[in-house]
Structure 1
């Protein structure tokens, strides 16, 4: 199966500081890959590089198309969704208005040869609390509710690939279970995911593959089962065990 996302020999910088060093990674259609590593090791930067948010060089291709020189909104329209670590909801707008901003442009799904996979009704069914608070300003929502809103808004863009950064960070156990349930549904509907996590809480439930980053490089890439057997990798690069 050909890759949906291809990353080859990617370098990235924040100013003069190099954050990624020759990263190579691919994701197949419908595949869920967990990208793990300590803070500052590069996973968040990799997601930002894919979305055109940091200066980088190397090869980035999505569905066979180069992402070089595309702006972030153009990358999103190709079918990439992005949920940043800090959620980035529009605080002054209501829950419903935030969701409307996420809707894919008319005809986008038809251009991809299929009906949209997610609707406003889906978003409210996935997270009933959003339906209850649809007229509430996003800025006064709890952290968990903002995570639900950011995830739902990304889904309404009808992505083929979702980049989601630390979906369980700072969430209560019950909310984390709801978010994990939503991600399982996405997997069932054929959405590929690059799931960035430090603790593997959600990743172990839904990922089939794990890539580990250290010092801005991929230091392990293999099946989830193989990763769980590598105590050396978990100890050296994640501080586990």
Structure 2
């Protein structure tokens, strides 16, 4: 499998506090990797480091290109989409305006794989509420909006932080179904979860973080045979 994202010896800080320690990880083209761990383990910091939002050092390469020194919008234009844990929609703008902002200019010679119609097909409620201010949406609708907006940037890799956090069961199922569609289209993804809630039937590989380090990295079936890892780093037997 061709490596799409390569992380080598990554360290990250919030002020004087070190959040990541010597993290090394790879994601192949079209691969779905679940990154799990307890709150505070460093999972979200890793995503933020990839996007240039955290002070970090080490090697980050995407499609063979170094991300060192690039600003967040430049990283996004290379083909990395980011759906943060807190969604970060623009509350005073309408759903349609939020989506329009996701259509980033890209210097690529291919036709974009995701259009506005795709976004509305994946999440019909967004079409119904396209003139509604994003701040008036429910948490589940905001999650759908944030995910759809990221897709309109036509990424090759999608970072999704806690896609099911705080969502009702039926909304979580809608989000999970969207992620399955993306996997079937060959989208590479990093799915960040506290446990394998959504990722368990989407991801092929699992990495576990603890205290800012990768403590396990292997195939899903190998992870499911490691109750010791689940117990020590996730708190489940």
Category of TM-score, reference length = shorter chain: over 0.9
CA distance in 1, matches of 2:84, 2:11: 20
Report what 2:184 is aligned to.
188
Displacement of 1:114 in angstroms is 2.5
Q: After the TM superposition, which residues 223-234 of structure 1 pair with which residues of structure 2 at under 5 Å, given as runs?
A: 223-234=219-230
**Counterpart-to-counterpart distance in 2, 1:146 and 1:96:** 12
- SS in structure 1 at match of 2:35: strand
Q: 1:125-151 CA distances to partner (integer Å, 9 max, x unpaired)?
A: 111111110000000100000000000
Q: In structure 2, what is the equivalent of residue 74 of structure 1?
A: 74
**How far did residue 104 of structure 1 move?**
2.7
Q: Does 1:213 align with 2:209?
A: yes
Structure 2 match to 1:178? 174
Cα displacement (A) at 1:2: 2.8
User: How far apart, in 2, do the equivalents of 1:83 and 1:31 lie?
Assistant: 17
Comparing 21-30 with 111-120, which one deviates more in the overlay?
111-120
2:37 match:
37
* Cα distance in 1 between the residues matched to 2:203 and 2:111: 26
CA–CA separation in structure 2 for the residues paired with 1:189 and 1:117: 9
Shift in Å, 1:190: 1.1
- Aligned with 2:120 (options 116, 120, 124): 124
TM-score (normalised: structure 1): 0.97
Q: Does 1:133 align with 2:132?
A: no
Tell me, which stretches of 5 or more residues in structure 1 are unaligned?
A: none
Please provide the CA RMSD for this pair: 0.7
Q: How does 1:1-241 map to 2 (within 5 A)?
A: 1-105=1-105, 108=106, 111-241=107-237
The DSSP-based 3-state class of the residue aligned with 2:26 is strand
Distance 1:2 1:183 in 2: 21
SS of 1:4's equivalent in the other structure is strand
TM-score, with structure 2 as normaliser: 0.99
Secondary structure of 2:3 counterpart:
coil
Q: CA deviation at 1:43?
A: 0.5
Q: Which runs of 5+ in 2 are unaligned?
A: none
Deviation of 1:223 (Å): 0.3
1:148-183, Cα deviation, whole Å (9 max, x unpaired): 000000000000000000000000010000000110
d(CA) in 1 for partners of 2:34, 2:7 = 15
Q: Give the Å deviation of 1:201.
A: 1.0
